[in-house]
Each structure stands twice: as structure tokens, then as C-alpha cells.
């Protein structure tokens, strides 16, 4: 189905053509007509399925420039908040629609000033509630409420915040929910807050026939990083994502990768906003080869051309594992998901393997050069590498 078949404004159609879009994705084809007609929708869609445009374009088509703030989009992370804001701005600029984002970690005063003239607000739950308590955001004219990545917002414990925010939005509104999975909790929220919603499920973006899943059983903990570098340099086409379990581990791994000449950047929730925006911009412009990330920070980001996913730290559940590997083998391309398994990862890996649909094969242990791994213990202690004193090797 082509965008021209939708009853949307010529200005939006012109911007769509300029962006190179021709035909609707599965999620767009299933729900955009319904959204344009005013129906509430629950869409189960993975990142990269085109779901952001699926709700952005119909909403922009209905915005009245003299109507004040009419749309509130809630997202679980700052990264996704920024990304969704950029989509609204890209397609709404020529229409005169002003979109701003509100999230924590940055000064609130500029947000307060911009809120006075905004038509669309994209926000994280915590900062949105902050504006509500300060009475710096006026939601009385909101006609469109979007809950993006609903399941992740629930996983992150935002359910109470979301419920409080919804109580400040008019009942006479159109509500849209998008979620990678439709759990019982997601369905409960849909039943409570949506009116006769249409449930839309997309086809999986990951082609299992094109996705190779392997794991390496690493004998010694300190060999994990050496094997990672070996694999990254062996398969250096496209973008690789390395998933770590904590913010601290993410930073340490990035620093060590750079020491080995790997063009890597980190992204996690503890980074300053300037660094986060730098990483997002580098991703968008494909200026890096390796992204090292935590699950929370990477969730919801539309990352192109991912050929390899590495589980440097094994995820705790099959659901988290599936979200990670879903970053590759998209749009007909091949991909590889690699899990680096050490003794302390065995319990998590057993839980992942409890999903009988997953086919993760044991890979042959390769020969590789063992390289130093520097970890800052504390300000008072010396740096250590593989159990040996750095200064002793000088």
C-alpha cells in the first residue's frame, strides 16, 4: 500500500516523498487508517517496524495550530524521547507544528519556556510529572495520548507515574499504545484506558532463517574481552552492538576497546546529556563501528545496519535475549548473535535456553591473542589487568 492512498495532507505526503518512503510497512498499513479515523489502537511492534511514523503522521494531520498543546507522547527513556521528537519535528516543521521533548538530566527552565507554545510534547514519565506538579504543562486540551514502548515503561517501574499522568489528560481523547510485547499488564492498561481498541500485531522483523545464534564457552573470565576483540576485528563490516549488564561495565568495555583501536561509543542511562546526544548523532550518521550499551538505553532506538549482536554479559531472561538479538537480521539481511559465556553467566544462560524456540549453537573455541583489560578499582588502588599489576609489566 502506498502513502498516497491515505487521506492525509499534501504537505505531509510531500515530506514523505522527500524522505524516500514509498510504501507502508506492515504496522503502518494495519493501523494508520484506523488512527486517522479516530480509533484507539494497541500495536505490538518491534523497533524498526515503522511504528513511530504510524502514529506521528496521523496525529500531525489532525493538529490545529491554534489549539495549543494537543498531543502527549510518553516514552521510557531519554534516547527514545529524543528520537520520537525528531520524527515529529522532521515531518511537522513545514506544517508549523512545534514539538518539544521533556526529560530529566537537563535544565528544566528551557523546557518550561518552550512548553508555552508547543503543540506536541514527547516526555519521560518522571519529568512529565515534574511539570504537572509545577503547573508548567497544561494538558486540558490534549486530544492524543501515546504510550510508546509500554512494556518497557512497565518493566522500569513507571506504571504508577503513567497512571498519575493519565488522570490529568481529558477522557475525551484518542489513545494509542505501542509495545514490543503485549503482556497481561499491557492488556490491563488497554482495557482500563482505551475505548474499544484495535489490536494490531506485526510480523517478526527478525528472519530466523537469516539469524545465526552461537555461544562461546569461555574457560577463563579474563579471556572474555580478548575473545570479544578478536571477533570484532574478524567481522568488521556493518555495525556491531555489544550489550553489557551495567553502566559501569559499559564504560570500562568502551575504554578498553578504544585502546585496541576499535571505533566504539557507549550509551547508557548514567551518561551526561551531551555525551548521550553525541552517541545518538554518531549512530544516526553511522560514524562508529561498535555501540556498547545497556538494555535500557538501547531499547527503542532505531539502529540501522546491525550485522552482529554480542552479549558480553548474558541477559537474565529469554525476553531480554530476544529483544537484543532482534537488533540484527532485519529487512532480509543476515545477522549473527553471539553470547560470551563464562562461569558466572551460567544461571542466566540456562534461563535463556529455557525458551525452546531459541536455537543457540555452541561455537568452536578459536585461537586468539590475549590482550590486557584495564579496570579501575578505586582511586587508591593501582589499575589491574588480567590479575597482574600494570606497573610490574613496565
Q: Please say whether the beta carbons of 316 and 290 come within 8 A.
A: no
pLDDT, one tens digit per residue, over 58-79 is: 999 999 999 999 999 999 988 8
Superfamily of domain 211-387: P-loop containing nucleotide triphosphate hydrolases (3.40.50.300)
pLDDT, one tens digit per residue, over 228-237 is: 999 999 987 7
**Domain map of the chain by residue range?**
3-201, 211-387
> Is 46 a residue whose pLDDT tops 90?
no
The residue-averaged pLDDT of 226-250 equals: 92
> Is 382 a residue whose pLDDT tops 50?
no
Q: Please say whether the beta carbons of 42 and 197 come within 8 A.
A: yes
Same fold across 3-201 and 211-387: yes
CA-angle at 340, arms to 335 and 342, nearest 5°? 165
The residue-averaged pLDDT of 99-114 equals: 95
More confident residue, 22 or 379: 22
pLDDT, one tens digit per residue, over 184-225 is: 889 999 999 999 999 998 765 555 678 899 999 998 888 999
- For all residues of the chain together, what is the average pLDDT? 88
Neighbours of 40 (CB within 10 A): 19
Q: Tell me: domain 3-201, CATH 3.40.50.300, correct?
A: yes
The residue-averaged pLDDT of 305-321 equals: 91
pLDDT, one tens digit per residue, over 288-300 is: 899 999 886 566 6
> Is 56 a residue whose pLDDT tops 90?
yes
pLDDT, one tens digit per residue, over 123-148 is: 999 999 999 999 999 999 999 999 99
> Is 153 a residue whose pLDDT tops 60?
yes
pLDDT, one tens digit per residue, over 167-180 is: 999 999 999 999 88
> Is 390 a residue whose pLDDT tops 60?
no
Question: With 0-12 CB in 10 A as exposed, 13-18 as middle and 19+ as buried, what is 96?
Answer: exposed
More confident residue, 330 or 245: 245
Q: Please say whether the beta carbons of 5 and 17 come within 8 A.
A: no
How would residue 328 be classed by pLDDT, with cut points 50, 70 and 90? Answer: confident
The residue-averaged pLDDT of 352-365 equals: 92
Distance from the Cα of residue 330 to its chain's centroid: 15
The residue-averaged pLDDT of 370-382 equals: 69
- Distance from C-alpha of 231 to C-alpha of 224, rounded to nearest angstrom: 11
The residue-averaged pLDDT of 300-307 equals: 76
Question: Can you give the pLDDT at residue 170?
Answer: 97
How would residue 384 be classed by pLDDT, with cut points 50, 70 and 90? Answer: very low
pTM score, whole prediction? 0.73
Query: What residues have CB less than 8 Å from 300, skipping those under 6 apart?
Result: 47, 75, 76, 77, 79, 80, 83, 148, 149, 152
Question: Can you give the pLDDT at residue 389?
Answer: 41
Amino acid at each position: 500500500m502506498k502513502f498516497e492512498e491515505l487521506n492525509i495532507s499534501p504537505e505531509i505526503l510531500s515530506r514523505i516523498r522527500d524522505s524516500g518512503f514509498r510504501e507502508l510497512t506492515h504496522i503502518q498499513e494495519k493501523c494508520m487508517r484506523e488512527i486517522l479515523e479516530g480509533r484507539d489502537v494497541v500495536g505490538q511492534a518491534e523497533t524498526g517496524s515503522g511504528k513511530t511514523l504510524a502514529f506521528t503522521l496521523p496525529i500531525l494531520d489532525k493538529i490545529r495550530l491554534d489549539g495549543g498543546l494537543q498531543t502527549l507522547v510518553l516514552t521510557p527513556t531519554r534516547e527514545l524521547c529524543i528520537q520520537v521528537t525528531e520524527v515529529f519535528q522532521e515531518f511537522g516543521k513545514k506544517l508549523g507544528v512545534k514539538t518539544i521533548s521533556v526529560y530529566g538530566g537537563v535544565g528544566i527552565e528551557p523546557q518550561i519556556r518552550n512548553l508555552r507554545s508547543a503543540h506536541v510534547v514527547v516526555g519521560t514519565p518522571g519529568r512529565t510529572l515534574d511539570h504537572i506538579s509545577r503547573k508548567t504543562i497544561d494538558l486540558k486540551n490534549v486530544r492524543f495520548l501515546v504510550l510508546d514502548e509500554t512494556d518497557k515503561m512497565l518493566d522500569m517501574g513507571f506504571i504508577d507515574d503513567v497512571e498519575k499522568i493519565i488522570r490529568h489528560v481529558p477522557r475525551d481523547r484518542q489513545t494509542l499504545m505501542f509495545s514490543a510485547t503485549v503482556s497481561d499488564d499491557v492488556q490491563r492498561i488497554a482495557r482500563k484506558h482505551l475505548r474499544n481498541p484495535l489490536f494490531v500485531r506485526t510480523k517478526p522483523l527478525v528472519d530466523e532463517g537469516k539469524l545465526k545464534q552461537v555461544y562461546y564457552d569461555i574457560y577463563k573470565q579474563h579471556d572474555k574481552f580478548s575473545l570479544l576483540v578478536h571477533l570484532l576485528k574478524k567481522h568488521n563490516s556493518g555495525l556491531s552492538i555489544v550489550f553489557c549488564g551495567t553502566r559501569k561495565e559499559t564504560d570500562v568495555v568502551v575504554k578498553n576497546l578504544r585502546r585496541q583501536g576499535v571505533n566504539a561509543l557507549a550509551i547508557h542511562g548514567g551518561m551526561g546529556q551531551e555525551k548521550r546526544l553525541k552517541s545518538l548523532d554518531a549512530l544516526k550518521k553511522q560514524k562508529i563501528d561498535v555501540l556498547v550499551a545497556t538494555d535500557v538505553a538501547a531499547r527503542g532506538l532505531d539502529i540501522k545496519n546491525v550485522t552482529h549482536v554480542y552479549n558480553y554479559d548474558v541477559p537474565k531472561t529469554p525476553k531480554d535475549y530476544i529483544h537484543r538479538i532482534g537488533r540484527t537480521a532485519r529487512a532480509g539481511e543476515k545477522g549473527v548473535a553471539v553470547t560470551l559465556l563464562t562461569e558466572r553467566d551460567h544461571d542466566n544462560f540456562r534461563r535463556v535456553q529455557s525458551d525452546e524456540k531459541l536455537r543457540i549453537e555452541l561455537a568452536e573455541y578459536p585461537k586468539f591473542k590475549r590482550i590486557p583489560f584495564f579496570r579501575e578499582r578505586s582511586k587508591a588502588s593501582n589499575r589491574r589487568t588480567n590479575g597482574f599489576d600494570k606497573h610490574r609489566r613496565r
